[in-house]
């Protein structure tokens, strides 16, 4: 099983032989997002029969059907199962006017799952629901451009970004919905069943291969080398995960030396230095917008200890994290 980050460094590793997602739907949910998840796992199951791929629709009131924004109704499969029955628990929201119509018990179930260390996934306005429950506080989140301004105004404690198919913070993943749901689903399949199964799934879904896809964030789309674009996108999507140069290079069929050459030519930095700079940028946001201690931020950003974090921060920004925080508060 190949993955671009080292699972032992953070997040929840998947139990072998299964990918089981518990799914919560809000009134007027996106039917495209639901079907995207289901279709991706269905194709994965055909490609890799040794692993179980399942989605279970759970609800506080399983006897009550839920109506999508397209008017299609779905009846939940069951009431709330113990969170550890799933690898992930995802929530798909509807239009913003319908967010307060969800069941309180479903909100409490999300919080319970989070405290049980089961990774959560917010899809579309499902990220609004996670943010309302405080489950995205002091985290990065990928938000649909249509909702970005509203989200940022409503939840300033969340580092909201646009243009990414998903952002993986380890314990919480966010996805803007729509077609991006397919990309998220195939990455979950890749992590649990390997690249071959994920690639077969992408082919069946007619997804554009990663090596020729052009990322949407403008600063990444302008990178001329498609392999480097792919790696920079992965770094941004998995920024707080324990990334390695070897894992990233393998993802685009390069050696570590070749990848470092591409980074030096484009950015004047090695892969590792680029990752560190990106994490320090995120650390600046946390210093300004959170109450986390410098030590906690250092650990969150993957530094071995606070002294290393302070040294690299001072080299990057010309002052210590404490001075930066004071001057930007």
CATH of the domain at 305: 1.10.10.60
We report the CATH number of the domain holding residue 98 as: 3.40.50.880
Which pLDDT score is estimated for 2?
Answer: 43
Residue finishing a domain among 166, 195, 224: 195
| Residue 282 forms part of a structural domain | yes
> How far apart are alpha carbons 287 and 326 in whole angstroms?
9
Cα gap 99→78, rounded to integer Å? 21
Q: Are residues 87 and 185 in the same domain?
A: yes
Of 165, 195, 225, which residue constitutes the final position of a domain?
195
Helices 31-47 and 180-193: crossing angle in degrees, nearest 10, is 30
178 and 85 in a single domain? The answer is: yes
Residue 15 pLDDT = 45
Beta bridge partners of 260: none
Q: Are residues 160 and 57 in the same domain?
A: yes
C-alpha to C-alpha distance for 174 and 241, rounded to whole angstroms = 15
In a domain, 255, yes or no: yes
Q: Look at residue 315 and tell me if it is in a domain.
A: yes
Asked whether residue 236 falls in the same domain as residue 135, the answer is no
Same domain, 263 and 279: no
Q: Within a domain: residue 178? A: yes
Based on the fold, state whether residues 31 and 120 are members of the same structural domain: yes
pLDDT recorded at residue 215: 56
The answer to the question of residue 2 being in a domain is no
At 73, phi and psi to the nearest 5? -105, 145
Residue ending a domain, among 247, 268, 289, is 268
Helices 195-204 and 180-193 pack at an angle, to 10 degrees, of 150
Contact 277, 269 (CB under 8 A): yes
Query: Does 14 share its domain with 160?
Result: yes
Give the pLDDT of residue 206: 87
pLDDT of residue 8: 38
Determine, yes or no, domain membership for 200: no
In a domain, 186, yes or no: yes
**Confidence at residue 9, expressed as pLDDT on a 0 to 100 scale:** 36
- How much is the pLDDT for 210? 59
**Is 251 found in the same domain as 287?**
no
Whether 148 and 181 share a structural domain? yes
Task: Enumerate the β-bridge partners of residue 21.
Answer: 55, 88
Please tell me the distance from the alpha carbon of residue 26 to that of residue 309, in angstroms, as a whole number: 41
Q: How many domains does the chain have?
A: 3
Check: CB of residue 324 under 8 Å from CB of residue 310.
no
Whether residue 94 sits in one domain with residue 172: yes
Do residue 185 and residue 234 come from a single domain?
A: no
Range of the domain at 292: 273-328
End-to-end CA distance of the chain: give it in Å, rounded: 44
Sign of CA dihedral 231, 237, 243, 247: negative
Co-location of 24 and 114 in the same domain = yes
pLDDT for position 218: 65
String of DSSP letters for 227-246: HHHHHHHHHHHTTTS-B-HH
pTM for the whole thing?
Answer: 0.88
Given its phi and psi angles, is residue 325 left (phi above 0), alpha (psi -120 to 50 degrees) or beta? Answer: alpha
What phi and psi, each to the nearest 5 degrees, are found at residue 167? Answer: -130, 130
Q: What is the mean pLDDT of each run of 10 residues along the chain (329 residues)?
A: 44 62 97 94 92 95 95 95 96 94 97 97 98 96 96 96 93 94 93 90 82 64 90 93 93 95 96 96 94 93 92 94 90
């Amino acid at each position: 099983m190949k993955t671009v980050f080292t699972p032992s460094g953070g997040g929840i590793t998947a139990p072998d032989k299964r990918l089981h997602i518990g799914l919560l739907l809000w009134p007027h949910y996106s039917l495209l997002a639901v079907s995207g998840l289901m279709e991706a796992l269905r194709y994965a199951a055909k490609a890799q029969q040794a692993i179980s791929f399942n989605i279970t629709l759970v609800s506080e009131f399983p006897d009550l059907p839920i109506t999508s924004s397209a008017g299609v109704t779905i009846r939940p499969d069951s009431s709330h199962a113990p969170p550890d029955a799933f690898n992930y628990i995802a929530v798909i929201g509807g239009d913003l006017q319908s967010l307060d119509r969800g069941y309180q018990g479903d909100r409490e179930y999300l919080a319970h799952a989070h405290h049980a260390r089961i990774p959560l996934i917010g899809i579309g306005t499902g990220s609004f629901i996670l943010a309302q429950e405080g489950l995205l506080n002091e985290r990065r989140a990928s938000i649909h451009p249509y909702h970005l301004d509203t989200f940022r105004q409503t939840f300033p404690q969340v580092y909201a970004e646009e243009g990414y198919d998903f952002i993986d913070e380890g314990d919480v993943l966010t996805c803007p919905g729509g077609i991006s749901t397919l990309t998220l689903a195939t990455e979950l399949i890749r992590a649990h069943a390997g690249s071959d199964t994920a690639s077969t799934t992408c082919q069946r879904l007619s997804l554009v291969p990663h090596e020729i896809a052009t990322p949407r964030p403008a600063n990444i789309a302008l990178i001329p080398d498609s392999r480097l674009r792919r790696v920079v996108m992965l770094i941004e999507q998995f920024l707080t995960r324990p990334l390695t140069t070897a894992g990233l290079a393998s993802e685009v069929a390069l050696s570590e030396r070749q990848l470092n050459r591409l980074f030096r030519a484009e950015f004047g930095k090695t892969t590792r230095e680029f990752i560190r700079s990106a994490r320090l940028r995120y650390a600046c946001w946390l210093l300004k917008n959170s109450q986390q201690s410098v030590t906690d931020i250092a650990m969150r950003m993957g530094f071995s200890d606070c002294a290393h974090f302070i040294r690299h921060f001072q080299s990057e920004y010309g002052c210590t994290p404490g001075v930066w925080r004071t001057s930007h508060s």
